[in-house]
Structure 1
Amino acid sequence: MSIRSKSHDRDKALARARDLFWKQGFHATSLKDIEAALHMHPGSIYAAFGNKETLFRMALERYAEEVAESRQKILDAAPDALEGLARFVETAHPVTRDDLPQPACFLAKTGMDTGLTQPALRAAISALLDRTEAAFAQTYRQAQAEGALPANADPDNLARRLHATLTGIGVYALRPERREQARLMARDLADEIRALRHLAS
């Protein structure tokens, strides 16, 4: 098997692990679940990814990277930063999509798991959530530089509010009967982001 083929197989296995943990959480996912999802024997899983905690952390990191790449593509295609952020909220966030394991952000959902006591995982989740919030703040700063936000706007505070609101909408969307309302809230949030432009007028 070529190096490229091995890399592709490893990438697919990690994607399956991400989806499994996203659906079931860390503690509810057994080694048997992982074996079945990854189509791998225990020895192969250990050789490729280490233990369950390491695999979970790698799945979280993969998720964060994918979200960041998706967000950047949307920002690059948008006419300006503020519009790009609004488009991300209304089209790419898990609550607006049907092709993802859960409507809530994997990082935020994991961060709320009070049963997750492993210090290394807690630290990794916190760092990844901080990275997301920092990316939002940077986008608001870009919007400020473009003149879409007034000079006295606080990008860090706007980012905190956006992050908290998206997390809340995702939690709300975990109730199947509230999924459509959650989508509408995400679209309303996108419109609120666009409305910030008027503050600079």
Structure 2
Amino acid sequence: MTKRAKTYARPYDRNTALEAAMRVFWLKGYHATSLKDLESALNMKPGSIYAAFTNKEQLYRSALELYFIMGRQGFTSGLSQSTSPILWLSDYLRAIGKPSKDDAPCFSCMLTKTLMGATEQETNIAQDARRYMDEMRAEFTRAFELAKAQQEIPQSADTDRLALRFQSCITVLKLEMQRGTDPNIVLSLADDLISDLTRFEPEHSLSV
């Protein structure tokens, strides 16, 4: 009598699964993403999804964390490789209006959409998004502090305020991209912002 071979659940790679979840959540949002959407995106059965991530909220929070980590790493890596913090900040804005070669998600969109869409019962999700946005703003502040140290901006510049302004502009530009605005128009808007930030002499540049 032939013994039936045992079948085992297909092993999964957590990072791969989280990246897939991140993309579907980014596209559809937390509430509009169904279990079927997640099954298809992660190529996992419901039982396996729950075993790995407990529930939909925990999966979303893990995906949101990965989203933040990827965005922060991209920013800090680019800054560390640039000889000019201001040039990198300018390039970062311009990149928003350029199509992504790897179809990478728009960093601030998921955080902003999370804050706007979270209900009163979803305080953990909203708190995560706020914390990640605060941490990203801190990275922008450090970039402006580095620019100050390199005398690219005046010593009197308020780097916290500059970081807040910079982050707000990123959100606006990415919202336009999400709305389907022509990338050339978004790029032009980014150039307008960059012009505002760099049109003065070094001792007055970026003053607000």
TM range (shorter): 0.7 to 0.9
148, 159, 183: which one aligns with 2:152:
148
1:26-41 correspondence to structure 2 within 5 Å: 26-41=30-45
Identical aligned residues as a percent: 33
Query: Bigger CA drift: 143-152 or 18-27?
Result: 143-152
Give the SS at the match of 1:61.
Answer: helix
Contact 1:104 1:170 in 2 (8 A): yes
Q: 1:171 is aligned with what amino acid?
A: L
Q: Which residue of 1 aligns with 2:72?
A: 68
Q: Which residue of 1 aligns with 2:28?
A: 24
Q: 1:145 is aligned with what amino acid?
A: A
Aligned length, in residue pairs: 193
Partners of 1:106 and 1:136 lie apart in 2 by 18
Distance 1:145 1:128, change over 3 A: same
Q: Which residue of 2 aligns with 1:171?
A: 175
Q: Which residue of 1 aligns with 2:7?
A: none
TM-score by length of 2: 0.83
Contact 1:136 1:159 in 2 (8 A): yes
| 5+ long unaligned stretches in structure 2 | 1-10
92, 95, 98: which one aligns with 1:96:
98
Q: Which residue of 2 aligns with 1:109?
A: 113
Deviation at 1:174, TM superposition (A): 2.1
Deviation at 1:172, TM superposition (A): 2.2
Distance 1:162 1:77, change over 3 A: same
Deviation readout 1:70-103 (Å, 9 max, x if unpaired):
1112112211222222222222x4x433423558
Contact 1:26 1:116 in 2 (8 A): no
| 5+ long unaligned stretches in structure 1 | 1-5
Q: 1:119 is aligned with what amino acid?
A: T
Distance 1:141 1:104, change over 3 A: closer
Give the SS at the match of 2:33.
Answer: coil
More helix by share: 1
TM-score by length of 1: 0.85
Partners of 2:148 and 2:185 lie apart in 1 by 31
Contact 1:149 1:196 in 2 (8 A): no
Partners of 1:64 and 1:87 lie apart in 2 by 19
Please tell me the root mean square deviation across aligned C-alpha atoms, in Å: 2.3
Q: Which residue of 2 aligns with 1:79?
A: 83
Partners of 1:13 and 1:192 lie apart in 2 by 41
Deviation at 1:194, TM superposition (A): 3.9
